[in-house]
Chain A
C-alpha cells in the first residue's frame, strides 16, 4: 500500500456527483484517492475505478467529468471542486489518451488529401479511360433504348414529327447514305431525320440517331456545308461519343459530388468543376469528330471548309465572350482556321444535284416555323 492510501482529500462545499450509468439517479459521493479511485456512497458498495482506466468526458468548463473504460459506458463522475479535480488529474496518466490531438487531425488531413488526389486522378485519367473502353461495349439494345428515350424528349421539344416531303426525303437519304458509306458505318446502325425548328443546329443521339434542324438547312448555301456537319455528327456516332459522355459525366459528377460533399457553397463548386472537366472532355470529342469529318469529306473529294463557314455564319466570332474555358465546343474561329487548312479543291462529284439540293431545302414544306 502506498502512503497515499489513507489520505482523505478535502471535501469541499461543492459536491461530487456520481451517475452509475444504469440509472439517472444523482448520487452525492465522497472520493478516496488510494491505489485506485474509490467512489463511496453511504450504505452502498463502493465503486473502484483504476486510474489507468479513467478517461475525461466532455463537460462544461467548471466541472471535471470522468468515465472509466471498465465501468458501464455511461457511468460518469463529476467533480466540481478544483483542488480535488487537480489531484485526480495528476494521478490519471491516460486521462486524455482518447481525445482528438494534433496528430489525429494531421492524420485526417493526410488521408483526406490522399483521397482527394486519388479522386482527382480517377476523374482525370480513370473515368475517361473507362468511358473509352466501356462505351463500345455497351450492348446495342441498351444504347438504342437510351436513344429512344432521348428521341422522345427531343421530339417533345422540337415538335412531334420529322419533316417528310418525299423529294426532300430522297435527297436527304442520298446525302446521308453517301456519307455513311464513306464513314464505314453499318447499314442498320443509324437513322437520320430533319426536324422543324427555328434553331440552326444538328445533333447525334445514342443508338445512331442523327437529327438536323430545319433552320440549319435554311441557312446553308450548298450541300457541302450540310454534308460537313452531318459528317461531324457521324463522327460522334463512330466514336460512341454519346455513351462515352454519359459514362464520363455520370462518373465525374458522382466523384466530384463525393469529393466536396456538403461544404457551404459546394453546389457551386461541384457545378463549376463539373462544367470545367466536362467541357474539356467534350471539346476533345468535338475536335475528334471534326477530324473524322475532314477525313470523310476528303474521301468524298469535297472540302470540309464550307461546313466551318456555315458554323461561323451562325455563331460569329466566339472568343472574348465570357469564359471560353467552359465552352463545350472548340471556338468556331479555331475550327474555321483548321478546316481552311484542310481545304482542297473539289476532286469528287457534287454530293447532290441542284434540283436535289432545292428539294432538301424544302423538306419541311412551305410551313415556316
Chain B
C-alpha cells in the first residue's frame, strides 16, 4: 500500500495478502435464455439453418457475460458475421479437398476394392485441426478485465498428436483415453495465454484413470442394459469435468472444482424424458396425419402411387421440423446452459491476485477454424 496512486478514493478496499479462493458466479436468467434459444431455433428454421452463426454467438454472449470471476464478468466479442465468413472460406477450401479425396479414392479402388476406406482417416485429422483452430477463435474472443485470451501453437501439430493418441486409444480399446486427454489438454493449455500469462495443465492421465477405470469396465454392460447408459455417461462426464478443471492453470492462477460425481444424472434424464415425450407426440401426429389422408380417400397404393404420397410426405416433413426444433431447444437448455451453470457453481479460483495486473497481448484469430469445424461437423471444447 505504499503506492499512493493506486489507493482508491471512497470506501477503502481491503487487500488481504493471502486471498481466499474466489468464486465464479453466474447471473444469467433461465427464462431469458429459453426465450433466446426458442426464437433462435425458429429463425434457424426459416433461414434453413443459416441463423446458426448468430444463435451460437448469442448463446456464447449470454453465457460469457453472465459469468463473473472474482466479481468481474467476462465478455464474448465474437460476432455471427465472422462465423458466416469463416464458414464460407472453409467451404471454398474444403471443396477442392473433397474433389481430391474423390479422385484419389478412385485410384485406390482401382488397385483394390474398398482400399480407399482408410482415406476417411484424413478427414479425422482435418477435424482435429479444425477443433484446435475453432478453440483459438473462441479464446481470442474471450475478454476479462479488458484483456483477451489468446493462443499460439500449431493446429497441425495438435492434429498429429491427436491422431497418434487416437490410434493408441483404439488399440487399447479406450483404456488410454485419460492419457490422451491429459496430453492433448496440456498442449492446448500450454499454448493458451491470458495477456502475458501463460496457461498450463497439471492434470495427469493416471489421476483421471483412477477416477474412472470402473466405468470403462461397466461400458459393455451399459450397451446391454439401456437405462444404465445415461448414468454411466453422466458419471464419466462429471468426473472428466472435475479432473479437467482441477488441472487448469493460468500464470499463478489455478482452478479447482467440487463437482459431485452424480451432478449430471438429472440433466441427462430430463433430456431423455423430453426426447421420449416429444417422440410420442410426433408418433401421434404421424398417426393422425395418416388417418386424415386415409379419411380423405387418398390411397398410397396402386398405379401412380408416387404422385399421391406427396400430401402425407409434406405433413411428415412439417412434423419432423417441429420435432427437431423442440429438441434443439431442449438440448441447448439442458446440455449447454444447465451444465454450464452446474459446473460453474462448483468452481473455485485460487490466487486470482496473480491476474491483477496482466499486460494485454495476442492477436485476434480468424473464424476459419470454426468454419472448418462446421463444415466437417466436428465439435470440441
Contact = CB atoms under 8 A, between A and B. Distances in A.
B358 A116 contact: no
A361 B76 CA distance: 73
B213 to A, nearest CB: 33
A145 B377 contact: no
B306 A325 contact: yes
Interface string B76-118: 1100100000010001000100100010011111111110000
B9 interface: yes
Interface stretch (B167-175, B222-230, B324-332): B324-332
A26 B356 contact: yes
Contacts, number: 208
Interface in B20-58: 27-29, 43-52, 54, 58
A108 B320 contact: no
14 contacts: A19-B146, A23-B146, A58-B76, A60-B28, A60-B68, A112-B51, A116-B50, A145-B107, A148-B110, A149-B109, A155-B113, A272-B317, A320-B299, A334-B304
A60 B51 contact: no
A324 B305 contact: yes
Interface of A: 11, 13, 15, 17, 19-26, 28, 30, 42-44, 57-63, 65, 72, 74-76, 78, 100, 105, 108-109, 111-113, 115-116, 145-146, 148-150, 152-153, 155-157, 250, 254, 258-266, 268-269, 272, 283, 319-320, 323-325, 327, 331, 333-334, 337
Nearest to B331: A264
A20 B146 CA distance: 7
Contact of B357 (A23, A150, A319, A325): A23
B305 A113 contact: no
Contacts of B328: 263-264
A293 B320 CA distance: 41
Contact of A337 (B113, B195, B303, B305): B303
Contacts of A62: 27
A122 to B, nearest CB: 14
Nearest to A154: B113
A110 to B, nearest CB: 9
Contacts of B64: 58
Contact of B113 (A75, A116, A153): A153
Contact of A334 (B146, B303, B374): B303
Contacts of B58: 100
For the complex of A and B, 7 pairs with smallest distance between CB atoms: A320-B301, A19-B146, A156-B113, A112-B47, A149-B109, A28-B8, A58-B65
A335 B364 CA distance: 62
A70 to B, nearest CB: 15
B73 interface: yes
B270 interface: no
B355 interface: yes
Given A261-B49, A263-B328, A324 B300 contact: yes
Contacts of A265: 320, 323-324, 327
Interface string B124-159: 000000000000000000011111100000000000
B48 A260 contact: yes
Contact of B109 (A60, A153, A157): A153
B256 to A, nearest CB: 21
A11 to B, nearest CB: 7
Given A28-B8, A58-B64, A319 B91 contact: no
Contacts of B358: 23-24
A283 B304 CA distance: 13
